[in-house]
Amino acid sequence: MAERAERVRRLVDRRGGVANRDVARALGVSAATSHRLLQALVLSGILERLGKGPAARYSLCSLRRRFAREGLDEDRVWTVLSEHISRVRPLAAAELRSLQYAATEVINNAVDHSGGKSLELSLSFGGAGSTTATISDDGVGVFRRLCEDFGFATAQDAIVQLEKGKLTSDPLRHSGEGLFFSSKAVARFRLESQGLAWIVDNVARDSALAPSPVRRGTRVVLEVIAGETPRLEDVFAAYTDPETLRFMKTRATIKLGALGSALISRSEARRIAEGLAKFTHVTLDFSGVEVVGQGFCDELFRVFARAHPETVLGPVGMNETVTFMVGRALAG
């Protein structure tokens, strides 16, 4: 019975969803036997059923839980999450560790900063070994909080600074590393608030902005994928100075600061440069940027660079036009 039940679970996992007749055909058993196997997996919390009768479909059991925010401990939420993962579709140890780091950091931020009444956790299982945890709160909203605390004009400005790391409104309790490393620790990361989403795809090595239906509060989506999720040790090593073991390296996605695919002005360059002096090595990713202006390049690669010689700027992802303009600034 246990062996057959595991075969059913793997079949559901592989196909994403099955009907009773699919299981009967795949296992070579009667419809009655297939039904008993499916019901046992539903009762054990491994599968969930949608619909009734012959039309019913079975899929891996998702999870949705709500918690009162006040006094909530992140490890309590993680225990609920990890136990469900272990029961339904266990993750490899490294992937589970990466998800644990990101999830607990996000939960802690929501508890400490959102000011909301509740936090909602959901978990779903997709194809190709994808496991997605979503953490939502009904608080003030992460981008609005950052704009209020730091005086950023827009949610986009807040994201440009948040992506670099070391941004925190409570430096005595938080280092500003949590969301930065959380965004790098999973295969895909999505932070949504005020109608805007910051998306980090670590499989494609890209970061972008997109519209979001989330207007109030904050929603964070964390996706781990079997064989595609970064190792947590590698993530920290990539941004840590090997001698001091401090967080001294960062990466800035230049297109996040653009309204289109061009950055022309000195003021745009100053927004990109804000906070970079906290680091010794900065990778400036120009992927997706079609045009840069002389003033933008001069402000970033001459004015800022001369004022902060201890910060090394490394431009990457440049097209021919951008390479030429950056080269002119570096030559000056």
pLDDT in tens, 19-51: 999 999 999 999 999 999 999 999 999 999 999
Q: Where are the domains of the chain?
A: 2-60, 63-233, 244-331
- Tokens 């947590």 belong to 232
Helix (H) or strand (E) holding 101: helix 93-113
- 129 φ, ψ (degrees, to nearest 5): 70, 25
Would you place residue 128 in the very low, low, confident or very high pLDDT band (cuts 50, 70, 90)? Answer: confident
Q: Which fold has domain 63-233?
A: Heat Shock Protein 90 (3.30.565)
Count CB-CB contacts under 10 A for residue 169.
14
Q: Which of 179, 176, 88 is nearest to 132 (CA)?
A: 88
| Cα torsion 148, 152, 156, 157: sign | negative
Q: Residue 172 pLDDT > 80, yes or no?
A: no
Q: Provide the b/e sequence for 183-215 (b: ≥16 CB within 10 Å).
A: bbbbbbbbbbbbebbbbbebeeeebebeebebe
Question: What confidence category does residue 107 fall into, taking pLDDT thresholds of 50, 70 and 90?
Answer: very high
Least confident of 12-16, 95-99, 212-216, 219-223: 12-16
What are the DSSP E strand ranges found in the chain? 47-50, 57-60, 63-68, 118-125, 130-137, 188-193, 196-201, 206-211, 218-225, 249-253, 262-263, 281-285, 291-292, 312-316
The CATH fold assigned to 2-60 is Arc Repressor Mutant, subunit A (1.10.10)
- Angstrom distances, CA of residue 265 to CA of 134, 156, 295: 38, 17, 6
pLDDT bin (cut points 50, 70, 90) of residue 170 is: low
* pTM metric for this prediction: 0.94
